[in-house]
């Protein structure tokens, strides 16, 4: 599988973002409730275009972002991907955002195993981590179920963040869950 190839899970289709997704991306990253736990302030229309452009060609880059869409209705659910791929440290940060109409419906638990496998198989990293707002309890609970544990920060940030990581050996050792 090439990173740019679409794929599916039980309920979702994943594909790279393109300019036709501009309204959904703008809505996602400009909504104040959605941005409550983001590390960036709400975006404007041009910044939404920049998000799409930034993730346009992922193969060989240190970042990737998939749009997640409902298989039956094609409705936009959110995005997931990776950034801050550090080949020297053999680690990568992943991120995800689910549109608020889809919160607490298991979409993170369905999407992240696919993303985790992509990171371990295609990037060859030993560690995957997330940084999350300290009050984003739902996110921390979701990744804990997948085996992520709170740890010291994996990279420096200017904001207060909780770092949680999952080591390759723990992911493939199914008895650790």
pLDDT in tens, 48-82: 998 898 888 777 678 899 999 999 999 999 999 99
- Reported as a single tens digit per residue, the pLDDT across 91-148 is 999 999 999 999 999 999 999 999 999 999 999 999 999 999 999 999 999 999 999 9
Two structure tokens written together for 44: 């404007």
Cα–Cα–Cα angle for 94, 97, 101, rounded to 5 degrees: 160
Task: Tell me which DSSP letter residue 42 carries.
Answer: P
Q: Are 133 and 161 in contact (CB under 8 A)?
A: yes
Q: Are 11 and 17 in contact (CB under 8 A)?
A: no
Q: What is the pTM of this model?
A: 0.91
Q: What percent of the chain has pLDDT over 90?
A: 71
- For 154-162, the CB contacts below 8 A with 24+ separation are 154/89, 154/91, 154/93, 154/127, 154/129, 155/84, 155/86, 155/93, 155/131, 157/39, 157/131, 159/39, 160/133, 160/134, 161/39, 161/131, 161/132, 161/133, 161/134, 162/131, 162/132, 162/133, 162/134, 162/136
Residue 39's pLDDT band, with cuts at 50, 70 and 90, is low
Q: Are 143 and 157 in contact (CB under 8 A)?
A: no
pLDDT score of 175 more than 50: no
Residue 160's pLDDT band, with cuts at 50, 70 and 90, is confident
pLDDT score of 176 more than 60: no
pLDDT score of 18 more than 90: yes
Q: How far apart are CA 56 and CA 17, in angstroms?
A: 7
Considering only CA atoms, give the Rg of the chain.
Answer: 15
Q: What domains does the chain contain, in order, with CATH numbers?
A: 7-176 (3.40.630.30)
């Amino acid at each position: 599988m090439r990173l740019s190839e679409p794929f599916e899970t039980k309920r979702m289709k994943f594909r790279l973002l393109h300019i036709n997704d501009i309204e959904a991306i703008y809505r996602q990253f400009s909504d104040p409730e959605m941005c409550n736990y983001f590390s960036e302030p709400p975006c404007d229309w041009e910044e939404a275009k920049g998000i799409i452009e930034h993730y346009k060609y992922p193969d060989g880059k240190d970042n990737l972002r998939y749009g997640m869409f409902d298989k039956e209705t094609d409705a936009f659910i959110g995005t997931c991907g990776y950034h801050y791929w550090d080949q020297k440290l053999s680690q990568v940060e992943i991120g995800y955002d689910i549109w608020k109409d889809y919160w607490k419906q298991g979409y993170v638990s369905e999407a992240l195993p696919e993303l985790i496998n992509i990171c371990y198989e295609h990037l060859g990293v030993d560690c995957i981590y997330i940084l999350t707002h300290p009050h984003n309890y739902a996110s921390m609970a979701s990744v804990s179920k997948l085996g992520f544990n709170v740890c010291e920060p994996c990279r420096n940030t200017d904001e207060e963040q909780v770092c949680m990581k999952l080591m390759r050996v723990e992911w493939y050792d199914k008895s650790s869950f």
